[in-house]
Amino acid sequence: MESMQELIEKGRQYVMNTYARFPYAFTKGEGVYLYDMDGKKYLDFVAGIAVNSLGYGNEALISNLNAQMQKVFHTSNLYWIEPQVKLAEALVQRSCADKVFFCNSGTEATEAALKLARKYGSQVGGPEKCQIITMKNSFHGRTFGAITATGQTKYQKGLGPMLPEIVYAEYNDIESVRALASKEKTCGILVEPVQGEGGVIPADPAFMQELRKLCSELDILMMVDEVQTGIGRTGTLFGYEHFGIEPDVIALAKGLGGGMPIGAMMAKDFCASAFGPGDHAATFGGNFLSTTAGLTVLSEIDRMHLLENAQKQGTHLQERAKKLQEKYDFIQEVRGLGLMQGIVLNEASLVNEIRLEAAKRGLLVIGAGYTALRMVPPLIIQKEEIDAGMDILDEAMAAVQK
């Protein structure tokens, strides 16, 4: 049997070098824990980058996917797919949206939103109504539309030219948005309820409310990127619910499939109707397995009261992080919503140092932006597990400080 080090060496030989991978390979998961090829146990505060909402080994998810595998797992969207229709119904009933388009990832969900905004703009305002406003420091994905929408030049380096008519406003600064927006030119504004990759920065409620008013005034689609914040991550099913608003378009992925690849772009009828047959598609989008997983995730969120748990445990996680802030001078700020929390450090180099020290001690955490440690554990996590993880993080920070 291959050792973990042998697997890593083979991976370096054959897998394209697009990730700065940590030297671990996992073979098993249980609850909020992962086990590597050497049998070492890790408490997981990464959850597949906010994906594994039900943790590992959820019996309902395994059972439902196994049952569907025995029947059929792909026919294409040329035909109706029962779990896809049921998942679309469930998402619409729990949101402000009316229609759902399914794809395979967050990037694809963003691309669908960008295309819908342009199609809508051309229908209501002509070809000149094509400008899309996004936020500086945002992250929306890796394809050309999504990477252009991403307001961080480090992700765009060497890929130019970017797509035209996408401009960037200051996050949480409504006057910055007003200076760019116009009824004649702007078709959509894309914003994250919490900037994830940008450093776990929550939106200001007043900013989101004014943004909603501005979009309504100028016939601009308000589009929220809920790829990371959606499906219970922040303590509500959708992040926009924290702000007392209803967006026109929602991009979803990550936690929706509990580990199965899925993306969704949801929209209100008035703009969803801009798409007709042939305007957009995804061969694998909304297949039997991914939508069975999505239905199971929503059902388990209800059964296990995971929205309430995310609120409760998110508060506790933030409180534990603030205690670390009192102890270590290199922590500048603690911020986040629900089980999406960030610890902002005063030096970028500390992020990886602390991540490595934590992993040595059995805790997995992830970075965000240049200087933030991000904690996005499975939604099933409990107080005792948070305490155990934060004790390890304390030890890791003490080791880095020496």
- Average pLDDT of the segment spanning 98-126: 98
Average pLDDT over residues 195-201: 96
Burial 18-50 (b: 16+ CB within 10 A, else e): eeeeeeebbeebebbbbebbeeeebbbbbbbeb
> Mean of the pLDDT values across residues 188-217?
98
What one-character DSSP code corresponds to residue 258?
B
Could you tell me the pLDDT band of residue 1, with boundaries at 50, 70 and 90?
Answer: confident
pLDDT tens, 207-233?
999 999 999 999 999 999 999 999 999
Counting residues of the chain whose pLDDT is more than 70, the rounded percentage is 100
pLDDT at 134: 98
The candidate with the shortest Cα–Cα distance to 133, out of 201, 200, 179, is 179
Q: Are 159 and 147 in contact (CB under 8 A)?
A: yes
Helix (H, G, I), strand (E, B), or coil: what is residue 135?
A: strand
Tell me how far apart the terminal alpha carbons of the chain are, to the nearest angstrom.
39
pLDDT digits (tens, 9 = 90+) for 258-293: 999 999 999 999 999 999 999 999 999 999 999 999
Per-residue confidence at 21, pLDDT binned at 50, 70, 90? very high
The number of residues making up the chain comes to 402
pLDDT above 90 (res 2): no
Q: Are strands 26-30 and 331-337 parallel, antiparallel or unpaired?
A: unpaired
Give me the DSSP letters along 341-374: EEEEES-THHHHHHHHHHHHTTEE-EEETTTEEE
In angstroms, the CA 95 to CA 238 distance is 8
Q: Looking at residues 50-54, what average pLDDT do you find? A: 98
48 pLDDT more than 90: yes
Secondary structure of 203-233 in the HEC alphabet? CCHHHHHHHHHHHHHHCCEEEEECCCCCCCC
Per-state percent for the chain, helix, strand, coil, to nearest 5:
40, 20, 40
Q: What average pLDDT does this structure show over 35-51?
A: 97
What CA–CA distance (Å, rounded) separates 211 from 218? 11
In this prediction, what percent of the chain has a pLDDT beyond 90? 98
pLDDT of 59-105, one tens digit each? 999 999 999 999 999 999 999 999 999 999 999 999 999 999 999 99
What global pTM score does this model have? 0.97
**Residue (of 101, 108, 89, 92) closest to 261 by Cα position:** 108
213: Cβ contacts below 8 Å, ≥ 6 apart:
none
pLDDT in tens, 286-310: 999 999 999 999 999 999 999 999 9
Q: Which domains does the chain have, with CATH numbers?
A: 81-273+281-303 (3.40.640.10)
Q: State the average pLDDT for the chain.
A: 97
Q: pLDDT tens across 356-398, in order?
A: 999 999 999 999 999 999 999 999 999 999 999 999 999 999 9
- Among 164, 163, 165, 144, which residue's Cα sits nearest to residue 155? 144
Radius of gyration of the chain (CA): 21
Closest residue by Cα to residue 250 from 116, 353, 342, 349: 116
Q: Given this model, what pLDDT does residue 63 score?
A: 98
- Is 90 exceeded by the pLDDT of residue 343? yes
